[in-house]
Chain A
Amino acid sequence: MSLTRSFPPEHFVSTDPFDPDATVAAGSIVSERYAKASQAKLIWWRFLRHKVAVVSLVFLALAYLSILFVEFLAPYAQSTRNTDFIFAPPQQVHFVHDGAFVAPFVYPLDYQLDLDTLQRTYSEDTSRPLPLRFFCSGDAYAFWGLVEAETHLVCPPEGGTLFLLGSDRLGRDMLSRILYGARISLTIGLVGVTLSFILGITIGGLAGYFGGWVDSVVQRVTEILRSIPELPLWLALSAALPVTWSPLLVYFGITLILALLDWPGLARAVRSKLFALREEDFVTAAEMLGASPRRIIARHLLPNFMSHLIASASLSIPTMILAETALSFLGLGLRPPITSWGVLLSEAQNIEAVALYPWLLLPMVPVVLTVLAFSFVGDGLRDAIDPYQH
């Protein structure tokens, strides 16, 4: 007998011989699990049916896990400059040298300087395979800015380089920079959404629960915020961040701007949901029984629309990630030395750079993947939460 996780449970016929003395039929164990499952569990089961969303969720989990260990995963430190290898193309990892299998290795890079265009043309010296080193000591770093260490998952070979995704105009390894950039780019959406969540729930909740003049003030404010054209407002606000601010302050400034423009939508959703729910019988019943407003909001109202809010938040994270990328690309968002995907992409701003060194565009791959993943997870969640869909 298999306890399938499918939802709703499949039609089940037990193949066991009929036992008239049994008190519980074998099949009922499956349906009992279903009948007794909590709301969260039901949502989770429905979510699991959305295959793409599950894959996306796993991808996101891995991505967020990786930003904890960036220093260890990246082959180079964040700002190691290999001045001999500027704009080096991506190097390939080979396994077979002279028809024989060797451990994973790369060939060393050589370059000729074209004296007319001052451009470097790189070539691989295929006579010397340089095996990669694993769990090795390379560039020194301070893990989380605290613990001094120099162990990396993979290091460039002795006397060679390892630019799996090429290098930039200062000879910095693109792969390492992308990994470090994930730290900023992936968290900026989360922090922004958290801020906008707090603002939206508090303000929308007040408006929806108390109604009256509180509601009309909130309504007016959100209307005004929504009727200012979004993109120019972003630009204006980010241009207003003082140049003298430290990178960390700029980071919080940007998240705050993103959140400031995001919360009105959320507040409106919370408000209208509260308005609808306030009239429900179970709220009247709770009021009759003498429950305080706080208890009614927290115990009876919030759980009813929290799931919707989470779904809509997961859909607004990608917008924030894209916004940060665009702002940084224009030079109005984060600035070096902060490394985010948008900052990396701002190096690929003109067509000459893109035509000569196309690998400078590679940071867009993680941007697109993350945004796609968040959209799929958000979609899956929204479908899973909607109890009337099936």
Chain B
Amino acid sequence: MIRYLAGRLVTMAFTLIVISVLVFVIIQLPPGDYLTSYIAEIRAQGIDVTVDKIAFLREQYGLDKPLWEQYLVWVTGLLHGDLGYSFEYNQPVADVVGERMPMTLLLNAATVLFIYLVSFPIGIYSATHQYSWGDHGLSFIGFLGLATPNFLLALILLYLANVWFGTSIGGLMDPEYIDAPWSLDKAASVASHLWVPVLVIGTAGTAGMIRRLRANLLDELNRQYVVTARAKGLSERRLLFKYPLRMALNPFIADLGNLLPQIVSGSVIISAVMSLPTTGPMLLASLRSQDMYLAGSFLMFLAVLTVVGMFVSDVLLALLDPRIRLGARA
């Protein structure tokens, strides 16, 4: 097991190095850099920028150095915990991201909880009542949930809320609380706004999870050990919970790997549509304006979380499922 873990750790380090190069290259791909667009913007306002000034700015931002040197500066910074400096916000990247982090975590933790709480009982019901009306109905809703792009769902909900209640349900709280210190009222306002994005972001995940849980559980329920147990007169409840359910839980654990980055990145698109104060819209804007350290460091941060998350879920799976553990050893 220790050998397995050590091997995995080495692979992880290697993976992260490659990803960092990839991320840096992708971010550098568009022609020009942040300064080009920044200077164009200043010029458009009628302020003349001298060649000296441009050269000074370029040097200050380190944009005059060759690419590989910029990359090394960035990566060394990352290793020291320095995420770089956001050109657009004129703040360290860590501050820009940190500002939006609590809300992002709250929103996505709520979504994950929603997905698990809803998909678990429905998945079990669908599998144990296969081909019943309830199963067909729930499956159909699940298919719809998978087929509807969730940003459209957001728009429809916003529209319906506008028509029925005449209120705007965008954002995460009522406007008057945005800069206010935390209070009970503010928390209540957040709670009343939170359900819409949670519902919207959670739909597709819930639908997928239900389908997987149902399929897995059905596979298990047709096994002979279940038939044997039933023949021996075990109660249906015990029959279900003792082994088949434990086997069918694998997707929930395997999903943990994707969960961590999801919790942080949030759903970018929904947040942009509903103008939520999360990290999603920030990432979008930084990619558009070529704010390279903000975009790069944040992407890298997500990649680290994904890789760590996959590692954690692999270890968990190995711990929980002897078949995987023994298979890995052999």
Binding site for B on A (CB under 8 A): 220, 223-224, 227-229, 231-233, 235-237, 239-242, 244, 318, 322, 325-326, 329-330, 332, 345, 348-349, 351, 354-355, 358, 361, 364, 367-368, 371-372, 375-376
Contact = CB atoms under 8 A, between A and B. Distances in A.
Interface string B10-52: 0100110011001100110111000000000000000000000
A73 to B, nearest CB: 24
Nearest to B303: A228
Contact of B303 (A227, A348, A354, A364): A227
16 contacts: A220-B14, A224-B15, A224-B18, A227-B310, A228-B22, A228-B306, A229-B303, A231-B267, A232-B298, A240-B30, A242-B30, A318-B147, A330-B284, A351-B159, A368-B148, A375-B147
A141 to B, nearest CB: 30
A232 B299 contact: yes
Nearest to B154: A351
Interface in B142-189: 143-144, 146-149, 151-152, 155-156, 158-159, 162-163, 168, 170
Which residue of B18, B155, B156, B273 has the most chain A CB atoms within 10 A of its CB atom?
Answer: B155
B295 A229 contact: no
Given A322-B149, A329-B151, A372-B144, A239 B159 contact: no
B202 interface: no
A236 B149 contact: no
B26 A236 contact: yes
B177 to A, nearest CB: 20
A154 to B, nearest CB: 28
Which residue of B149, B267, B272 has the most chain A CB atoms within 10 A of its CB atom?
Answer: B149
Contacts of B151: 326, 329
Contact of A351 (B23, B26, B147, B170): B170
Given A229-B261, A236-B295, A351 B287 contact: no
B269 interface: yes
Given A228-B303, A232-B268, A368 B147 contact: yes
A239 B156 CA distance: 27
A349 B273 contact: yes
B159 A354 contact: yes
B15 A223 contact: yes
Contacts of B287: 235-236, 239, 332
Nearest to B289: A239
B18 to A, nearest CB: 5
B263 to A, nearest CB: 11
A237 B261 CA distance: 18
B159 A235 contact: no
B126 interface: no
Contacts of A220: 11, 14-15
Given A223-B15, A224-B15, 6 more contacts: A228-B23, A231-B268, A239-B287, A242-B30, A318-B147, A372-B144
A124 B158 CA distance: 29
Contact of A240 (B29, B162, B265, B267): B29
A51 to B, nearest CB: 13
Contacts, number: 112
A351 B269 contact: no
A324 to B, nearest CB: 10
A239 B310 contact: no
A237 B26 CA distance: 6
Given A240-B29, A351-B158, A368 B144 contact: yes
Contacts of B26: 233, 236-237, 240
B65 to A, nearest CB: 21
A326 B306 contact: no
A224 B19 contact: yes
B94 interface: no
B238 interface: no
The secondary structure that dominates the B interface is helix
Q: How large is the interface on B (under 10, 10 to 19, 20 to 34, 35 or more residues)?
A: 35 or more
B302 interface: yes
A145 to B, nearest CB: 30
Interface in B275-306: 283-284, 287-288, 295, 298-299, 302-303, 305-306
A256 B287 CA distance: 19
A63 B149 CA distance: 20
B162 A351 contact: yes
A223 B303 CA distance: 12
B15 A361 contact: no
B149 A355 contact: no
A358 to B, nearest CB: 7
A298 to B, nearest CB: 32
B307 interface: yes
Contact of B27 (A236, A241, A244, A371): A236
Contact of B272 (A223, A236, A330): A330
Leading 9 A-B pairs by shortest Cβ distance? A240-B29, A371-B147, A239-B287, A372-B147, A229-B302, A354-B159, A229-B261, A351-B158, A364-B152
Given A236-B299, A351-B168, A355-B163, A231 B147 contact: no
A240 B32 CA distance: 11
B302 A361 contact: no
B155 A354 contact: yes
Contacts of B265: 229, 231-232
Contacts of A351: 155, 158-159, 162, 168, 170
Contacts of A361: 152, 155-156, 159
Nearest to B19: A228
B71 to A, nearest CB: 16
A360 to B, nearest CB: 10
A326 B149 contact: yes
Contacts of A325: 149
Contacts of A318: 147
A242 B268 contact: no
A189 to B, nearest CB: 13
